[in-house]
A = this chain, B = another copy of it.
Amino acid sequence: MMTVGFIGLGSMGMPMACNLLARGFALRGFDVRRESVAALEVRGGRGADSAAAAAEGADALVLMVVNAAQAESVLFAQGALDRLPDGATVILMATCPPDAVAALAARVEAAGRRFVDAPVSGGTVGAVAGTLSIMAAAPAAVVERVRPVLAAMGDKVFHVGEAPGQGATVKTVNQLLCGVHIAVVAEAFSLAAKAGVDLAVLLEIMSGSAASSWMLKDRGPRMLEAEPGITSAVDIFVKDLGIVLEAGRGAKAALPLAAVAHQMFLSASGRGEGTMDDSQVIRSYHLLNGVTPG
């Protein structure tokens, strides 16, 4: 059985690490929060007191950190890459811009290690259940070496390309669609509200028509509430649509709808509403258009 180093034991990383333990992998984990490392030990994992110690002798090193800058710091400044055996595989699962992923991959491969770009979707629910979608990009043989590791965390492992960065691109496309879908529901509902249309009736009709989307059915009902519970925050889309636009700059691709949607989330954040449920991007439209929600 392979030995896995795991860096980043947050709301996604901890349940992913636990699923690796449950499948029998020898796992050593690290997080900058000491209490997270202690929690892993309670769950049967081995804790490490540094990123480098977690990487020591591992066959695969999973990075579930916040962003590309943290991944770079862990691998290089904090010395994890040096402690990883020759031929071991770095698996980057955080959501990062495609260009940054490709650059990290090149440096890791130049140092004689393998690299799999493997972002996920499915949220904490999927992380706990082991039902994440994993969008893996690397040469097929490299993906196959670590497929058991990936399959322990997600039940849908897609090989989306040979070049690291292509997994990040697929994740980026996913977030582009999700973010614009939320914003356009808000745009449509704000127009309807201004015309005095009952939004509950509107939502019922749209949910059953060609105008429907996963986000319409999920976020639409919460747009009709003044203070909905927080399922995912406005600031997540400020970040993720920011990555989308960075991917567009990297690929030199104009993304006009994504750019507009980003502005609407950004303005919500600018009003101090970044921690609200992301359905509340509708407030940006209501303010823009002078709508008083009924």
Asked whether B257 lies within 8 Å of A261 as measured between CB atoms, the reply is yes
Contact of A211 among B160, B177, B210 (CB under 8 A): B177
Q: Does A89 reach chain B (CB closer than 8 Å)?
A: no
- Please indicate the chain B residues that have their CB under 8 angstroms from the CB of A158 in the complex: 201, 204-205
Asked whether B257 lies within 8 Å of A198 as measured between CB atoms, the reply is no
Asked whether A169 lies within 8 Å of B156 as measured between CB atoms, the reply is no
Q: Does A121 reach chain B (CB closer than 8 Å)?
A: yes
Asked whether A177 lies within 8 Å of B173 as measured between CB atoms, the reply is no
Q: A197-B160, A253-B289 are in contact. Are A191 and B212 (CB under 8 A)?
A: no
Q: Does A184 reach chain B (CB closer than 8 Å)?
A: yes
Asked whether B208 lies within 8 Å of A133 as measured between CB atoms, the reply is yes
Binary flags per residue of A106-144, CB closer than 8 Å to B gives 1, else 0: 000000000000000100000000000101000000000
Chain B min CB distance to A140 (Å): 13
- Please indicate the chain B residues that have their CB under 8 angstroms from the CB of A198 in the complex: 160-161
Chain B min CB distance to A178 (Å): 5
Asked whether B173 lies within 8 Å of A188 as measured between CB atoms, the reply is yes
Q: A187-B176, A205-B135 are in contact. Are A256 and B252 (CB under 8 A)?
A: no
Q: A161-B198, A257-B261 are in contact. Are A192 and B211 (CB under 8 A)?
A: no
Chain B min CB distance to A207 (Å): 10
Asked whether A177 lies within 8 Å of B216 as measured between CB atoms, the reply is yes
Q: Does A22 reach chain B (CB closer than 8 Å)?
A: no
Asked whether A211 lies within 8 Å of B253 as measured between CB atoms, the reply is no
- Please indicate the chain B residues that have their CB under 8 angstroms from the CB of A212 in the complex: 213-214
Question: Assembly of this chain: how many copies?
Answer: 2
Q: Does A194 reach chain B (CB closer than 8 Å)?
A: yes
Complex CA distance for A174 and B156, rounded to whole angstroms: 33
Contact of A247 among B191, B216, B255 (CB under 8 A): B191
Q: Does A13 reach chain B (CB closer than 8 Å)?
A: no
Chain B min CB distance to A156 (Å): 7
Binding site for B on A (CB under 8 A): 98, 121, 133, 135, 156, 158-161, 163, 165-166, 169-170, 172-178, 180-181, 183-185, 187-192, 194-198, 201-202, 204-206, 208-216, 218, 247-248, 251-258, 260-261, 263-264, 285, 288-291
13 A–B pairs (Cβ distance < 8 Å), ordered by A:
A121-B209, A156-B205, A161-B196, A165-B195, A170-B205, A176-B191, A177-B184, A177-B206, A177-B211, A180-B180, A184-B258, A210-B215, A213-B213
